[in-house]
Structure formats: C-alpha cells, structure tokens
Amino acid sequence: MYLALRRIGCDLLGEKVSVCDVRAISVPGKDELEDLSARFEKSSPEEILEWAASVYGEKLCFATAFGAEGCALLAMLAKIPNHAYVFNLETGYQFAETLELRERIREKYGIAVDYVRSRESVADMEARFRGPIYGVAPNECCHIRKIVPLREVAAGYCAWISAIRRDQSAERATAAIVGWDAKFGMVKINPLANWSKKDVWTYILTNDVPYNPLHDQGYPSIGCWPCTKPASGDDDRSGRWKGTEKTECGLHIDGAGI
C-alpha cells in the first residue's frame, strides 16, 4: 500500500510536510521503505536509480560533491530517463579542480549540475565572524554553507540521492539503501551504500567516467580546500578535518546535529 509523503511526515516525524501534495505524488510508507531497502541489497545502483526516477519524477533531486562515487552515479543517471534536479552545494571553498570537473561532467553527459549556495556569501560570513571560521568553528561553517542550503532545496522535493558508502565511516555504516531522512524531511536514497571503494573505481575506470584529478594526488575524499588534506591508508575520511575528531560535514548525520 502506498501512502502520501504528507502521511509519512505525520507518522514518522510528527512534523508538517508540505513538499508532496497527496494529489500529485504517492510514495512508499515507512514499512515499505524498509522492505524496499532490504530488497535493493541485491539490486544494482542503476536499478535503484531507475526505481527512484520512476517513483519520484520531478520531485527527485541529487546532491553531488563530485567525489568518485558521485561521478559514478552521474554516469549511471545519464543513461536513465529522469527529471531529477542535480546540484552541488557550492560552499565558496571548493577546489578549482572540483569546479572544473563540473564542466567535464556537463560536456560528457549533458548534465548541467546547478550550484546551490548559502544566502550569505563567504565574504559576508567572514566579515560577520571577523575572519574565516573553518578552522575555529568548522561545524558552524558546515551548517551555514551546506546544511541550511540543502534544507532550502529540500522544501521543494520528496527524495534525494546521495553517494555515500557504508564502509566510508562509522556514521555511514548503517545507512539504508532507501529510508526516511528526518533531518531534511525527504526520503534518502543511497544507491552505492553496499558498494566498496574498489567497486566504485572499477566502474569509473571501466566506463571512462571523469573524476577529480586530486584523487591521483593522494586525496581519497575531497571537500572544501581548507579542510581537506591528502591521506593514506584505508580510511577514506582521514584527510577531512585532519587532526580533529570531526569526520562529517553533517549532511549524513541523523538528527539535528551540526
């Protein structure tokens, strides 16, 4: 049985959810999302994307930071008829290589990735705090430049695609392939949740997918330039906020944190 997202919002969150009008779209309810997620454990990411595109249509969005995983999903999405809104949270601190990759993706796949920015410019934010805050208050920086902008996007959509993998960090280890994201009031779809790093790079190299050249320079994970360093070893997140306990910007942490 399918329930409207308005019903999901009431049942799961006790919050008002106005994104999806009951007359416009129906989406799976809580139990169905859990069942679907379990069934999708044996599905390919392409099959999961096809399902998402067919169920959510124009109410589907995809947030990409142009990491290796995100580029792989963009290549898959390009092969699937869809009306997803694809965007990048442009913090104002991204590497030049990341911004250039956006153009290579557009040229190869015809996907124009939109920039979503904070309402407050970097210059205004730094003036307000009397200097950059990424080193002294990184959680606040992430909140202003990533969390708040995604919440504003979420107001117009029913579901969002992310490119996280379970083996990237402890915080991501229990990620469902599809589930309710209470933080942003949308269904969250993680087509690569049960993929490994090897799976991702095999797909990229086999399919000649454009990727960030910083990966070849020792950056396993790439975010904002002030908070991303080269790293070695098996921990993909070890180069993010290096020297601190912080490993997540907050997008993929449940609840109201960050």
Query: What is the CATH classification number for the domain harbouring 178?
Result: 3.40.50.620
Continuous segment of H or E residues that includes residue 28: strand 27-28
Tell whether the model's pLDDT for residue 12 goes beyond 50. no
Asked if the structure places residue 157 within a domain, the reply is yes
Burial of 165 (0-12, 13-18, 19+ CB in 10 A): buried
Q: Are strands 27-28 and 60-63 parallel, antiparallel or unpaired?
A: unpaired
Asked if the structure places residue 148 within a domain, the reply is yes
Continuous segment of H or E residues that includes residue 159: strand 159-161
Longest CA span, the chain: 54
Asked if the structure places residue 52 within a domain, the reply is yes
Amino acid identity of residue 148, one-letter, is V
Amino acid identity of residue 118, one-letter, is S
Q: Which residues contact 198 (CB under 8 A, 6 or more apart)?
A: none
Tell whether the model's pLDDT for residue 157 goes beyond 60. yes
Asked if the structure places residue 136 within a domain, the reply is yes
Range of the structural domain that residue 85 is part of: 33-227
Instruction: Specify the range with the lowest mean pLDDT, choosing from 112-126, 140-154, 208-222, 233-247.
Output: 233-247
Number of structural domains (the chain) is 1
Q: What digits encode the pLDDT tens for the residues 197-223?
A: 999 999 999 999 999 999 999 998 999
Asked if the structure places residue 253 within a domain, the reply is no
Cα separation, 67 vs 214, in Å, equals 10
Asked if the structure places residue 246 within a domain, the reply is no
**Active site amino acids:** 249
Greater pLDDT, 135 or 5 = 135
Tokens encoding 109:
């796949």
Residue 41: C-alpha distances to residues 36, 170, 252 (Å) = 9, 19, 20
Asked if the structure places residue 24 within a domain, the reply is no
Asked if the structure places residue 242 within a domain, the reply is no
CA-nearest of 188, 250, 186, 184 to 223 is 250
Band of residue 9 on the pLDDT scale cut at 50, 70, 90? very low
Q: What is the pLDDT of residue 252?
A: 66
Tell whether the model's pLDDT for residue 16 goes beyond 60. no
Greater pLDDT, 3 or 217 = 217
First to last CA, the chain: 35
Tell whether the model's pLDDT for residue 240 goes beyond 60. yes
Q: What is the pLDDT of residue 102?
A: 98
Determine contact, residues 45/177, Cβ cutoff 8 Å.
Answer: no
Residue 29: C-alpha distances to residues 2, 11, 14, 26 (Å) = 6, 9, 14, 9
Tell whether the model's pLDDT for residue 238 goes beyond 90. no
Three-class SS state of 256: coil
Cα separation, 15 vs 207, in Å, equals 43
